[in-house]
Structure 1
């Protein structure tokens, strides 16, 4: 019994192997075929045992500790006899054949023979060698079978030593560190160069003169707003009334052809065609429509001023004619003010019979010379 107490100590002694691998523990049962030359009754007997194996991660050779026990090996004349064998082996694992792992092992151990006879000692050193296989049926469990040959090399009766052939089967349970598995395939992901598209900043183009042509393309950068221009931003010559002022700048777009105009296309001097009573400054009603139109123009274009100039024909004295022409010019100026024109836009003067536009020798010529003109100027 004391000898059996060595088993826990030996098992614990192998624990230091667990740092770098995994354990296998295998409870086994089997049958012992003995030569019988030391007097065992019936020679053969059943046995059981426990095997503890440590597997290195990087080696095919593993240490194994085995304890085999035969409780009923009777020797003649010794009464009940038991045999305990403690073996230390090196186990070599061959490459797998399908799902089967074959192995071979060899080592040495010690055999303890227990009898009821005092001073009877058959204990001794044994050598062993064997082979077997393991077939897993789950990640942790496997079926194990092996055959082992034992040769006793020392005992009290060396000439009568016993050799044994043992056949055993059992289950193997693996535990401890994770068993090494087949390396996983390393998938190399090709690193693709990431091309970052440049950020395009769209800068709003300027068109300072508002003619629809961007400044960088505009060869005439200061054309007035709303002018009709070509692809270079230069004004297209459009002058419908042919007064020399383009439509875009022409405030008076319908001046008669050939009439003198100012820079805005308006007549520099216009005959208002106002009619008066004979030798009087009283305006005839037939002139009201023309006064209304001219008053509207001045009210719309307050940046213009008009000088109202009165003329007469050559009949009568020069001084009389000058006074009459001033009275008539003043009457027209007053009529425009009454129609809403700002008085600051108006002045009046009389020129008498000066600057005739026709021949005073004829009635028709004298009628043309009796006139009221407005000279238009920009303020």
Structure 2
């Protein structure tokens, strides 16, 4: 256990990330396991505790976290063992160091119970180090002390893994390097026309043209981008405004049920729509060519409607969303290969005008 904790800590402090993660509104869940040290008065031997954690970031720094653990602890003074349950509720404060916004040292405090033959409830305080290896996957190492009163303490040193939803990512923009200082030349008396020409040449040599910057990575430079901040991977027009995006959702066979990974993608797009109130979209369903035309048409309509309903549930106004199924009529890859069919089974969100009958890019405010 100590080796595992040390390995995760080394990874957390040595991995360098260029991502700037925004945590407000994100939530996470995942398993944990650790070494549980019971108080001497509990008549229980130290053991391994395992459980689950579920958390939600209320702000960029503060999160609320539920946890539930279990240990099968042997008695200290007799044979046999005891089932021990440890539910808890904690407030967690995360520090956000500027050097790496994926690194989240934290402190926590809350209440935690130890349920065995009898129940003790105590104050839990501790801290640790959380790290996001990607915007959807992270882990932490932690230590906490649970004080039950009358001099009774339990401790837990643990390592956990977590899957994150709703984390927003901003690409880091490298600052332009300052222009080199101009070297002053000694004045030289020259005929007026020649002096003017030399002066013009000096001005041209001293002029520094800043390298074009594309902050949001959409292929349109900032000085021409009328819709800055478009997320990476979205298709835009020549003005940098949204045209369309693909949602590759792994629907089960003959099903329009959206899995957890698909819901995370839908939530990200819903956040973008809420931040872009002029945008109206048509949710388009597409299938591969396996099955009959009629079957594929109906299935694509069901899945498009399911994604549109999920966007509305995430807070997007229903009047801004329409849905339509296209069946197998618009493939983007060959249906003769497994990979091509997977690309063709997709949902696309396409910008439309206010009437919904003409596809075009949204206009900036």
Question: What range is the shorter-chain TM-score in?
Answer: 0.3 to 0.5
Which of the pair has the greater relative contact order for Cα pairs under 8 Å at 6+ separation?
2
Q: Give the alignment's TM-score, normalised by structure 1.
A: 0.35
Which has more strand, going by share of residues? 2
Pick the structure with greater CA Rg. 1
